[in-house]
Amino acid sequence: MIFRQLFDRESSTYTYLLADPKTRRAALIDPVLENLERDLALVRELGLELTHVLETHVHADHVTAGGLLRQRTGAKTVVSERGGAECASRHVGDGDRVALGELEIEVRATPGHTNGCLSYVVRDGARTLAFTGDALLVRGCGRTDFQQGDSRTLYRSVRDQLYTLPDDTEVFPGHDYRGHTTTTIAEEKAHNPRLATKIGEAEFVRMMAELKLANPKLMDVAVPANLACGGAK
Amino acid sequence: MIFRQLFDRESSTYTYLLADPKTRRAALIDPVLENLERDLALVRELGLELTHVLETHVHADHVTAGGLLRQRTGAKTVVSERGGAECASRHVGDGDRVALGELEIEVRATPGHTNGCLSYVVRDGARTLAFTGDALLVRGCGRTDFQQGDSRTLYRSVRDQLYTLPDDTEVFPGHDYRGHTTTTIAEEKAHNPRLATKIGEAEFVRMMAELKLANPKLMDVAVPANLACGGAK
């Protein structure tokens, strides 16, 4: 697999480029509008054809490049069937598969941060990679206090849909605010301060209720824009 | 090999954690003072023993955590024999090797950004990884206008010491300012706007002379601090 992790400093968002080396078909996961030209240049320089843009969820902190990438390249935009972005090319749910040539992306529903959150799982030889959006972060997780967020649901998503992956699964999160780039399922089971396996559901729910975070500064702009495929239907 | 890329948002510096999975011996390349606790926590959580801290050069934009990491863990600090940081545990030059258990780090002298710049090359099965500091960045390179920088020297370092590595060598730079995390030798040979193989030495020297960049804001603090091992001799 051809694979690149890309970072947006403004929103601390990670974007991922995945491609099948044989057919050169490529997908971007969670591309950010402001980085459209950077990401298109990389696709071009690597000799790839962008066929899919996948969203892990309707973001509240940045506007997706999905709609514009579809306009520019013909790539299909892929979102959750529970996300509300009607304008997307394809709506997927738990157990669906997205094919990039010989590379297969498995969809896992991991709601809780929002009700439409998806994780994407890819197997590449002996490696398993999980793109977890805001469901599971490095030593953290997404907040659960808006966009139909629910901490009990998130707890169960992580336990049932992510911690059931092999321990050496490489986890690639939707964000990181402290400079981590990746982690593994084993590490999060052992060291996640909210979601280590020793922490019960009630304790997790209490911790999440106590966070009392301010809303993301772009929320009122980003959520409606993302429901409209980034403003480029 | 156990491998992690870490990012410092303030200075856009990449720090790398490398470890031998058998002996659990680990090295940090270019750790940043402000991230000392983050990096020590990761070493601890991964069950590693920090034995070496390697610098690619005397940085002008951040203060190294090297000296304090040595105090805290007993790790050896490793710097260029041409770098001027007398306080370091070990001074290395081109062709030297640093052993982490069964993992070997090869030192390549790649001066030009500073006169003491080093790159570190690691082979892990079929993979070759090069930690190039500021000699070679993703679609760029370090500036050459201070700290004994010299653009002719940098051009020759990249051509003779880096572009001679296998084309599929994964390049991990000392910085990135646009959200890229890695590249390959083949990509830079083809697409680096300053250092693609089609660009001659004279043209490179002219491009570097025309940059006229402001000095790094931390330069007057960082260079003396780094010559003193981050202020923790």
Per-residue pLDDT tens over the stretch A160-176:
999 999 999 999 999 99
pLDDT tier at B207 (50, 70, 90 boundaries)?
A: very high
The rounded Cα A191 to chain-centroid distance in angstroms is 21
Tell me if B179 and A45 make a contact (CB, 8 A cut-off).
no
In single-letter form, the type of residue at position B211 comes to L
Residue B13's DSSP bridge partners are B8, B175
Mean of per-residue pLDDT scores for chain A: 96
Q: How far is A173 from chain B (nearest CA, A)?
A: 14
The rounded Cα A33 to chain-centroid distance in angstroms is 15
CATH code at position B157? 3.60.15.10
Provide mean pLDDT across the span B176-204. Answer: 98
Q: What angle do CA B101, B104, B107 make, to 5 degrees?
A: 140
The DSSP code for B146 is: S
d(CA B57, CA B218): 15
B38, B182, B190 ranked by CB distance to A179: nearest: B38
d(CA A138, CA A160): 18
d(CA B152, CA B115): 12
Q: Is the pLDDT of residue A157 over 70?
A: yes
pLDDT higher at A215 or A128: A128
Q: Is the pLDDT of residue A147 over 90?
A: no
Q: What is the pLDDT of residues B50-106, one digit of tens each?
A: 999 999 999 999 999 999 999 999 999 999 999 778 999 999 999 999 999 999 999
A6, A12, A178 ranked by CB distance to B180: nearest: A6
Are the CB atoms for A94 and A108 separated by under 8 Å?
yes
Q: How far is B82 from chain A (nearest CA, A)?
A: 30
| Strands A2-8 vs A13-19: parallel, antiparallel or unpaired | antiparallel
pLDDT score at B218: 85
Q: Is the pLDDT of residue B192 over 80?
A: yes
Does residue A117 lie within any of the structural domains? yes
- Our answer to whether residue A113 is catalytic in this structure is yes
B12's tokens: 């856009």
d(CA A42, CA B46): 33
- Give the domain range for residue B10: 2-214
Provide mean pLDDT across the span B35-40. Answer: 98
Does residue A111 lie within any of the structural domains? yes
Does residue A165 lie within any of the structural domains? yes
What angle, rounded to 10 degrees, do the helices at B36-45 and B66-73 form?
40
Catalytically active residues of B, by annotation: 57, 59, 61-62, 113, 134, 175
End-to-end CA distance of chain A: 30
Residues of A in contact with B10 (CB under 8 A): none
Does residue A92 lie within any of the structural domains? yes
Backbone angles phi, psi at A65, to 5 degrees: -90, 0
Q: Is the pLDDT of residue B233 over 70?
A: no
Provide mean pLDDT across the span B100-127. Answer: 97
Which value does ipTM take for this structure? 0.94
Mean of per-residue pLDDT scores for chain B: 96
Q: What is the pLDDT of residues B136-188, one digit of tens each?
A: 999 999 999 988 999 999 999 999 999 999 999 999 999 999 999 999 999 99
pLDDT score at A233: 61
Are the CB atoms for A171 and A190 separated by under 8 Å?
no
Residues of B in contact with A7 (CB under 8 A): 7, 179-181
Residue B52's DSSP bridge partners are B27, B76
pLDDT tier at A8 (50, 70, 90 boundaries)?
A: very high
d(CA B46, CA A230): 39
The DSSP result for A134-164, as a single string, is: TTSBTTB----SSTT--HHHHHHHIIIIITT
d(CA B110, CA A121): 39
Q: What angle do CA B119, B121, B122 make, to 5 degrees?
A: 150
pLDDT tier at A220 (50, 70, 90 boundaries)?
A: confident
Does residue A12 lie within any of the structural domains? yes
pLDDT tier at B231 (50, 70, 90 boundaries)?
A: confident
The rounded Cα B66 to chain-centroid distance in angstroms is 13
pLDDT score at B198: 98
Residues of A in contact with B42 (CB under 8 A): 180
pLDDT tier at A134 (50, 70, 90 boundaries)?
A: very high
Tell me if A7 and B187 make a contact (CB, 8 A cut-off).
no
Q: What is the pLDDT of residues A35-90, one digit of tens each?
A: 999 999 999 999 999 999 999 999 999 999 999 999 999 999 999 999 778 999 99
Residues of B in contact with A193 (CB under 8 A): none
pLDDT score at B146: 85
Are the CB atoms for B233 and B67 separated by under 8 Å?
yes
Tell me if B178 and A38 make a contact (CB, 8 A cut-off).
yes
In this structure, is the dihedral angle defined by the CA atoms of residues A52, A87, A121 and B181, taken in order, positive or negative? positive
pLDDT score at B232: 73
**3-state secondary structure labels for all residues of A29-88:** ECCEHHHHHHHHHHHHHCCCEEEEEECCCCCCCCCECHHHHHHHHCCEEEEECCCCCCCC
pLDDT tier at B216 (50, 70, 90 boundaries)?
A: confident
Q: How many domains does chain B have?
A: 1
| Strands B2-8 vs B13-19: parallel, antiparallel or unpaired | antiparallel
